Structure 1
């Protein structure tokens, strides 16, 4: 095959699968809506099952459902007949996937599902198949032809099945009012989870690690405090212990340019008064956005009474993986 032929075949495959997905849109109908309502009403979990390539797609559908607010997991139909059926309860619902609708492994389970009064939603390419007829609702995943030139290897059909599963998951997500924070709770180890869950108070410097001086502190002593704490900033408190201002490396450079007498200066004369602060319960991702907008590398953390509780440095955010 020439390189051009490889490209032509690849484009033809994409086009055929795209056309198959376009036809799927008209099948998002009353049966689809009934399937959503049935799943929303179930007291247990959604059990997804399928053999071969349908099983691989079923695993992904189950994972998508589970991560978007619908408790679900995949059960291999062959293993179900050898003990794994015990994972399924009478409160559950089954989504059975078979393009032909004739999978013998799934058909073997249908009488057991019926005895347990477990509702079955099928995804098949044939409304007249045994599986479709046994199910309460059949979702049509038929394709005119596979992208495989032999019309044998599951290609277009598995793509359509995957999209139908995504359509179910998203419809259920919206019906449940599933939020970004809900999503984060099921993905705490991922970057999105950290962005949506990690708060300033979780990673800020606090207690003795906060550099603190008062209004009368000489600049020379303040620089020692900044060096020891290593944040490039120090907070300045008044005689009542309230936050009065901050002094940063940038402030030092500005006063050098202004020819300020650094040997006699105190914090009251060189600090930046009324500094920008953030609340400890602010999301770290929001604090990062603020720091980027203000072009600063550290921000003061204060509570509702304007009491100093911490300092958040850009390095803290980066170490936490919030970016």
Structure 2
């Protein structure tokens, strides 16, 4: 009969062991990762990430993360490297080998060939006395005291440590390169992530009759009616050339009424100047971030000349699933 409490206990124990081992790796982290970053930053070719078995799966993830954050890289299976794929490695490249034991027989064949061509090797290993560690230009220590597997056979804690070290390396390089949102977007143009990063405000903004807009000569009452018509929470106030000179929001209206002022007063007395404006070529994701930062819910959209071309509010971002 299934013991549900035991199942929960097993799951918790697994996570606790892996977290404990990861914390120990943090304490051992040293200047080796600085050296690894220096080697990779000076690489004029590609970064090849390689491993076999579970380490191979982790190598694929690390290679993909590096490639998507500005470090050209690809995964190579250790076995494939011995059967022709080694020709894909150039003298300008850097190789990252992931092997907890550092003693895979494939490495014994590959390492001398790479050394002949002075190709730098970065090793992610838990065995600092292994042949891999001794041949490497830099060793990143992923050592563990125990796997989460009760038989101490299934790679668990060791795999988590390798993954975390790869992430630490990837994000450190990304930050050093000051890799921007725009650069990231160019590498992710498709799917949900592409919609989140690549689309611009002009692609989701409201246009035509869906824009809330009044001219400078109207009253507060007129602006209030325009607010009510569109329900955007904001109306743009424009001059005769369609330049946005201010905005009038639901908040402005409430403050105006609480102060006991008249709805027949001119809008120029009640509007906010200049108001927050968005440029039409701004990334939608950046615009949403600015909404949160400035605690606003809607904004007029202008072209490069400052003329009103659209309007957007926080609900419009949902169609891109940006949250």
CA 1:230–1:34 in structure 2 vs 1: closer, same or farther (change >3 Å)? Answer: closer
CA distance in structure 2 between the partners assigned to 1:142 and 1:240 by the alignment: 68
CA distance in structure 1 between the partners assigned to 2:17 and 2:248 by the alignment: 64
Q: TM-score of the superposition, structure 1-length normalised?
A: 0.74
8 Å contact from structure 1 (residues 245, 273) kept in 2: yes
Counterpart in the other structure of 2:255: none
CA 1:239–1:29 in structure 2 vs 1: closer, same or farther (change >3 Å)? Answer: closer
Larger Rg: 1
CA distance in structure 2 between the partners assigned to 1:168 and 1:249 by the alignment: 48
Q: CA deviation at 1:25?
A: 2.4
Counterpart in the other structure of 1:39: 40
8 Å contact from structure 1 (residues 284, 317) kept in 2: no
Q: CA deviation at 1:155?
A: 1.3
8 Å contact from structure 1 (residues 288, 317) kept in 2: no
CA distance in structure 2 between the partners assigned to 1:17 and 1:230 by the alignment: 51
Counterpart in the other structure of 2:133: 132
Q: CA deviation at 1:273?
A: 5.2
CA distance in structure 2 between the partners assigned to 1:35 and 1:250 by the alignment: 53
Q: CA deviation at 1:80?
A: 1.8
Other structure's SS at 1:105 match: helix
8 Å contact from structure 2 (residues 217, 267) kept in 1: no
1:309 matched to 2:312? The reply is no
Counterpart in the other structure of 2:257: none
Unaligned runs of 5+ in 2: 253-261
Counterpart in the other structure of 1:278: 277
Counterpart in the other structure of 1:123: 124
Counterpart in the other structure of 1:148: 149
Q: Bigger shift: 48-57 or 129-138?
A: 129-138
Other structure's SS at 1:109 match: helix
CA RMSD of the aligned region, Å? Answer: 4.3
CA distance in structure 2 between the partners assigned to 1:245 and 1:42 by the alignment: 51
CA distance in structure 2 between the partners assigned to 1:140 and 1:175 by the alignment: 22
CA 1:108–1:235 in structure 2 vs 1: closer, same or farther (change >3 Å)? Answer: same
Unaligned runs of 5+ in 1: 252-259
CA distance in structure 2 between the partners assigned to 1:248 and 1:31 by the alignment: 55
**Aligned pairs, how many?**
314
1:82 matched to 2:86? The reply is no
CA distance in structure 1 between the partners assigned to 2:210 and 2:89 by the alignment: 53
8 Å contact from structure 1 (residues 184, 194) kept in 2: no
Alignment map for 1:262-301 (pairs within 5 Å): 276=275, 278-280=277-279, 281-282=281-282, 283-286=286-289, 288-289=291-292, 293-294=295-296, 299-301=299-301
Alignment map for 1:126-275 (pairs within 5 Å): 126-189=127-190, 194=195, 197-206=198-207, 239-243=240-244
Q: CA deviation at 1:160?
A: 1.6
Q: TM-score of the superposition, structure 2-length normalised?
A: 0.74
